Amino acid sequence: MVKKRACVFISGKGSNLKNLIFHSRDNSFPIKISLVISNNREANGINFAKKYKIPYLTINTNKNNYENKILINLKKFNITFICLAGYMKIIPNNLIMNYHKKIINIHPSLLPKFKGLNTFTRMIKEKEKKAGCTVHYVSEKLDSGISIIQKSFFIKNTDNESDLKKKTQKLEYRAFPEAIIKIFRKY
């Protein structure tokens, strides 16, 4: 099987990146992580790129035309698929147009509920019964693209934000690789 060359975008801890790197070492996993892009020079996730010798790039999203730098590098590394793994910036439209249906994101809620930031704070405030994660295609509208996979759990009344985050991330480590396998099984 020829693996698709994928780029993972991160902003912080990078535990989903680490998990995807781990999965992608399996010959039957559909993608090879060939580039990591971070908007945050201090992101811990960059250490995983270094450790596993994956090329990485940091970008300054405050600079004009920063999206061109991204596009040039995606082309340079022959990237055909993009995973947003805790990337906390909006993806510019020209990137979405260039990678139509080729960008997926993991979000810590059962979309369409709790789009955007501070999902766990809002879930507790609104006394939600269920939490979970969604892997979805990225479209022009934030957290609104077609869903690929969701995984959920019931919230206990003793769960605080940190419990919800831990439980959600545990599900994310299964959902993200499963979504990628599901996408490429079709081809």
Question: What are the residues binding ligand GAR (CB under 6 A)?
Answer: 10, 12-16, 45, 85-86, 106-108, 133, 169, 172
Report in angstroms the alpha-carbon separations of 171 from 17, 46, 86, 149: 14, 22, 14, 11
Q: By beta-carbon distance, which residue lies closest to ligand GAR?
A: 86
Backbone φ and ψ for 37, nearest 5 degrees, come out as: -120, 130
- Which residue lies nearer to ligand GAR by CB, 30 or 132? 132
Residue 166 one-letter amino acid: K
Hey, which residues are catalytic here?
107
Q: Which is nearer to ligand GAR, 79 or 85 (CB)?
A: 85
CB nearer to ligand GAR: pick between 139 and 169: 169
Q: How far is the CB of 151 from ligand GAR (least distance, A)?
A: 12
Enumerate helices (H) and strands (E) in the chain, giving the number of each: 6, 7
Which CB, 5 or 13, lies closer to ligand GAR?
13
Which token pair is 128?
């939600």
Write down the least CB distance from residue 138 to ligand GAR, Å.
11
Neighbours of 7 (CB within 10 A): 26
Say how many Å lie between the first and final Cα of the chain, rounded: 11
Least Å distance, CB 88 to ligand GAR, is 6
DSSP character string of 69-98: HHHHHHHHTT--EEEESS--SPPPHHHHHH
Cβ within 8 Å of residue 129, ≥6 positions away: 154, 155
CB of 62 to ligand GAR, least distance (A): 19
